[in-house]
Each structure stands twice: as C-alpha cells, then as structure tokens.
Chain A
Amino acid sequence: MPQLHFQDFPPQLVWLAITFVVLYVLMSKVALPKIGRVIDARAERITADLDRATKLKDEAAGVLAAYEKALADARAQAQAAIKAVSERMQKDAEAREAALAKKLAADTEAAEGRIKAARDQAMASLTQVATDITKAAAEKLIGQPINDQVATAAVAAAAKERA
C-alpha cells in the first residue's frame, strides 16, 4: 500500500504545509475580504433600498391624502360657486321677467289708449263721412241740399239703431 511508505511522508507533509499556508494567506488576505465586501455591500444596498422604498411609500400615501383632500375641497368649492351663480341667475331672471312684464303691461296700456283714441277719431270721422254721404245722397234724391242739423240727426238715429 503506497500510503504506508514512510519515506514518502516528509515530502507530502512539507508540501501540504506550504500549499495550505499559501492557500490560507490567499483566502484570508485576498479572496474572502473581496467576497465579503461584495456581499456586505449588497446587503447594505438592499437594506437602504428597502428603507427608501418604505419612506417613498409613506410619502406617496401623504401626497395621496393631500390630493384627495384638495380634490374634496375643490369639489365643495365648485358646488358652492355653482349654487351661488345659479341663485344669482335665478334672481336676475326673475327681476328681468318682472321688468319685462311691467314694460309689457305699460306698452299694452299705451297701445290700448292709442287704439281707443284712433277708434274714437275713426268713429267721429265716420259720423262726419256718414253725414256728408247722407247730405250728398239726399241732395241727389230730392234735388236740393238739406241742412246739416237734419243730416246729423238722421245719422245719429241710424247709428243708434245699428249699435
């Protein structure tokens, strides 16, 4: 069994010691600090990122609450403004309507007055025209003019009969 050749022990032990110590130095001074640094940096980064994410989330929640409050405020304000405007508009409309009605009534009254005057005038001139026609007709029929008083009385009597 080659494992029991005692003359082979010293070179194996010497080289085991050399290689093991070299590897130990390489690991403890070079490789492990390098890996440890990277792993620590990553863990730190992850923790920091998580912290930042939590902070941002809180911030976002705050912003959302503020936004919702602002929205509600704006909505209430808009509602109030709409209400005020519509009230004012209604009042205006009512006032305008009243003024218009008043004006219309006045206009109607004036028109009625004018119509009455025109009718009176027309009626008066109608009597005159009837009298003139009556005079002219009587003159043609009897060959001589009749006096105004008789014609006027005849027209008045006819108008009374027809009314």
Chain B
Amino acid sequence: MAEKAIDPLHQFEIVRLIPAKIGNLDVSFTNASLWMVIAIAAVTVFLVGGMRRQALVPGRWQSMAELSYEFIAGMIQDNVGSSGKKFFPFIFTLFMFILFGNMMGMVPYSFTFTSHIVVTFAMAFVVFIGVTIVGFAYHGAHFLSFFVPKGVPKVMLLLMVPIEVLSYLTRPVSLSIRLFANMMAGHTMLKVFAAFTVMLGIFGVAPLAINVALTGFEFLVAFLQAYVFTVLTCIYLNDAIHLH
C-alpha cells in the first residue's frame, strides 16, 4: 500500500472505461473522456442554467454566467480589437473548456485531462494552425512580412528571419507545455505531500498544512493557466490580424 501511495504519477494513468475501436483507431471511452464530458456538461449547465431566467437584474448565478461572457469579450476587445469578435465563440469555448478541465481536476479522485501533453498540444496546435490560416486569409502572401522585423539592417535579416520563424513555430510547443507542466506539477506535488501526510502519522500535520496552502495555490494556477492559454491565443490572433 505504501508503494502505491508514493507513486504520484498514478493519478495520470489513462484507464479505458469502455474499450472501443473503429478500424485500427482506438476510440475507447477513458477516464479522460469521462472528465471531458463532465466538463462540457458542467460548462453548459453553468451557462444555460444561469441564463434560464434572463433577468434584467441578474441574480448571483446569472451574474457569474454574464461575468464569464464579459471577461472573454473584454479580453478579445483588449488584445485583438473589434476584428476579433468573430472568434469570440472559439476563444470562449477554449477558455471554458480549459478552466473547467483544470477546476474539475481539483475534485479528489477526479482526472485532470489538461495534465496530458497530447491534449494540451492538440489544442495549442489547433490554435497555431488556425491563427496561421487567419493570417494568410487576411493578408495573403503579405503575412510572411510578419517574419521580417522593421527597421533592421538588411544583413541582420539573414539572422533575424530564421529566429522569427523559429519563435513562431515554437508557439504551440510553449503554449501546450506551459499548461500541461503546470497542471501536472501541481497535482504531483499535492499527491506527494498527501502521501507524506499519511506516512508521517501525527507529524503529518506539517505536510497537511502545506497541502492546504498548495490546494489554494492550485486553484489559482487552475484559473491562471486557463487565462494564460486564452490570452496568448488572443495575442497570436492579434499578430495574425494586425501583423506587427
């Protein structure tokens, strides 16, 4: 039992709840799938339920639903401007999906699907491809001037252009690893201190106290990382629409 308790990575194990295959593709309904479904159900209930009355003077629940709407609307307005409005549903979905994924992960015995690099990378990659398509759709080949910094001597461009291209290409990597690493590290740490608490008996009070603080901190990180992911998406979108 002790051996199991100190395996802090056990919580990230993918468990196939309903194994399924289409051709060679494994489409099993896993614990990650379950929490994704729970997250989107919770988001939908939160928003649609909050708006069931559509009151002119909102109650607490409706205020929270409107707050999340206005939070993302404001973020897009600030970072992209009014031309970003048409991307609002996507950005909003992205934020709520990650936020609820992170927050649901704070429930004991749940599963944090945002702690898997493949999930975060898939989202970051979609953002990356989407932003690139938007860039070419708005500016055509002129979008490539994004990689040519202004006011730089011609000789330096030989060095600068590859750097710009590289930094552009690493965006999905940094975006996905930031979220994945934060979630994974936080949950691992919680698990480690929880294991200490069990192992130390009466002296477990110390790691327990740390865990209490860490839990609060993890809620902050859960929100903050959803925010960071979304705000960076907005900034990338702004680059694509307005160039430099």
Chain A residues proximal to chain B, CB less than 8 Å: 1-5, 7-17, 19-20, 22-24, 26-28, 30-32, 34-39, 41-42, 45
- Kindly count the residue-residue contacts between A and B in the assembled complex, taking CB atoms under 8 Å apart: 125
- In the complex, which residue of chain B has the Cβ closest to the Cβ of A36? B69
CB distance from A69 to the nearest CB of B (A): 40
Bound-state CA distance A1–B14 (Å) is 11
B66 and A35 form a contact (CB under 8 A): yes
Is B244 located at the chain interface by the 8 A CB criterion? no
B89 and A15 form a contact (CB under 8 A): no
Max chain B C-beta neighbours (<10 A), residue from A4, A14, A28: A14
- In the complex, which residue of chain B has the Cβ closest to the Cβ of A21? B93
Task: Scan B61-90; emit 1 where CB is below 8 A from any A CB, else 0.
Answer: 010011001100000000000000000111
B69 and A35 form a contact (CB under 8 A): yes
- In the complex, which residue of chain B has the Cβ closest to the Cβ of A24? B93
Bound-state CA distance A10–B16 (Å) is 12
Task: Scan B18-46; emit 1 where CB is below 8 A from any A CB, else 0.
Answer: 00000001111110110011011001100
Is B160 located at the chain interface by the 8 A CB criterion? no
A11 and B118 form a contact (CB under 8 A): no
A3 and B184 form a contact (CB under 8 A): yes
B66 and A38 form a contact (CB under 8 A): yes
Bound-state CA distance A10–B32 (Å) is 12
CB distance from B101 to the nearest CB of A (A): 10
Bound-state CA distance A92–B32 (Å) is 111
B26 and A35 form a contact (CB under 8 A): no
Is B123 located at the chain interface by the 8 A CB criterion? yes
Is B97 located at the chain interface by the 8 A CB criterion? yes
Max chain A C-beta neighbours (<10 A), residue from B9, B40, B65: B40
28 contacts between A and B (CB under 8 A): A1-B12, A2-B12, A2-B14, A3-B115, A3-B118, A5-B14, A8-B118, A10-B26, A11-B14, A11-B27, A12-B30, A12-B113, A13-B118, A14-B25, A15-B27, A15-B32, A19-B37, A19-B97, A20-B93, A23-B93, A24-B89, A27-B89, A30-B48, A31-B44, A32-B89, A34-B47, A35-B69, A38-B58
B47 and A35 form a contact (CB under 8 A): yes
Max chain B C-beta neighbours (<10 A), residue from A10, A30, A39: A10
A35 and B65 form a contact (CB under 8 A): yes
Is B199 located at the chain interface by the 8 A CB criterion? no
CB distance from A135 to the nearest CB of B (A): 128
A32 and B25 form a contact (CB under 8 A): no
Is B166 located at the chain interface by the 8 A CB criterion? no
Q: 7 closest Cβ contacts across the A-B interface?
A: A28-B89, A15-B33, A31-B47, A19-B36, A8-B14, A23-B40, A2-B12
Kindly list chain A residues whose C-beta atoms are within 8 Å of the C-beta of B90: 24
Bound-state CA distance A30–B14 (Å) is 32
B180 and A38 form a contact (CB under 8 A): no
Pick from B14, B33, B51: contact of A19, CB under 8 Å: B33
Please judge, given known A-B contacts A19-B37, A23-B97, whether A3 and B92 are in contact too, CB under 8 Å: no
Please judge, given known A-B contacts A34-B54, A35-B69, A38-B51, whether A12 and B93 are in contact too, CB under 8 Å: no
